[in-house]
């Protein structure tokens, strides 16, 4: 059985940065499941499909032509790393992630990333739905205020205009939507370690996960 470390948590909790670092330390593959939902949202938008049209978005998701490079993400051969990080696409990803047919369409695709020597996967339901047999499960979170500050800093560093209050409101709305959806709601599973990174550095968070996984830093 190929080992999996599943890292779940809310938006802007830092789970992507931490998961990628853990994968690099272990020499494992990395799955950013949120990127798949962002890609589906972007592909739907470019195809003129409304995010509320469940069947049409699911069809777009099932047919995604995606390639992940070391520093690139190609959608139908076009580089979209920056495009899928725009706030409207982030919001669209959260909306389509609440649609059961879309989640079903992307489930098999996510499981295809499980390859030797191992996989570190981050998302909302990696440990509960996609990889329920994961060797190590982490629920990584931080206060909504800290998460809004982190998102604000990210956007400003990229030269994107941002205000903290709308970000705070958006994160609260996403948390509500993610935790209340009928399919795979965001919640800590009983067998997951809780990791609050509000006052931790990236390195401290990475080391804690490696320790729980039984690897010395």
| Domain extent listing, the chain | 4-209
- What is the structure's pLDDT at 217? 47
Low-confidence ranges of the chain (pLDDT < 70): 69-70, 216-217
- What are the tens digits of pLDDT across the range 8-53? 999 889 998 899 999 999 999 999 898 999 999 999 999 999 999 9
The CATH number of 4-209 is: 3.40.50.300
The partner residues of 73 in beta bridges, in order of sequence, read 68
What is the spatial order of strands in the sheet that 73-75 belongs to? Answer: 66-68, 73-75, 78-79
* Residue 69: predicted pLDDT: 66
109 and 64 Cβ atoms separated by less than 8 Å: yes
The pLDDT of residue 70 is 62
Coil vs helix vs strand at 165: helix
8 A C-beta contact, residue 7 and residue 191: no
The span from the CA of 202 to the CA of 127, in Å, is: 21
- Which pLDDT does position 41 carry in this prediction? 98
Cα–Cα distance between 11 and 8 in angstroms, integer?
10
Distance CA 121, CA 115 (A): 12
Nearest-angstrom CA–CA distance, 43 and 39: 6
Structure letter (DSSP) for residue 85: G
What is the value of pTM for the model shown? Answer: 0.84
Element (DSSP H or E) covering residue 196: strand 193-196
């Amino acid at each position: 059985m190929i080992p999996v470390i599943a890292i779940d948590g809310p938006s802007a909790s830092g789970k992507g940065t931490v998961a990628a670092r853990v994968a690099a330390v272990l020499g494992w593959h990395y799955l950013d499941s949120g990127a798949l939902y962002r890609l589906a949202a972007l592909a739907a938008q470019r195809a003129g499909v409304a995010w509320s049209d469940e069947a049409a978005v699911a069809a777009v998701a099932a047919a995604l032509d995606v390639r992940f490079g070391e520093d690139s993400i190609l959608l139908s051969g076009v580089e979209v790393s920056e495009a899928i990080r725009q706030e409207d696409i982030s919001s669209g990803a959260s909306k389509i992630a609440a649609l059961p047919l879309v989640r079903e369409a992307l489930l098999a695709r996510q499981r295809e990333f499980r390859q030797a020597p191992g996989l570190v996967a981050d998302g909302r339901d990696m440990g509960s739905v996609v990889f329920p047999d994961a060797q190590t499960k982490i629920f990584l979170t931080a206060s909504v205020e800290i998460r809004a500050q982190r998102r604000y800093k990210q956007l400003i560093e990229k030269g994107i205009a941002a205000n903290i209050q709308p970000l705070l409101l958006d994160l609260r709305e996403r948390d509500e939507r993610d935790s209340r959806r009928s399919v795979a709601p965001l919640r800590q599973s009983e067998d997951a370690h809780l990791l609050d990174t509000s006052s931790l550095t990236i390195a401290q968070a990475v080391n804690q996960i490696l320790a729980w996984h039984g690897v010395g830093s």
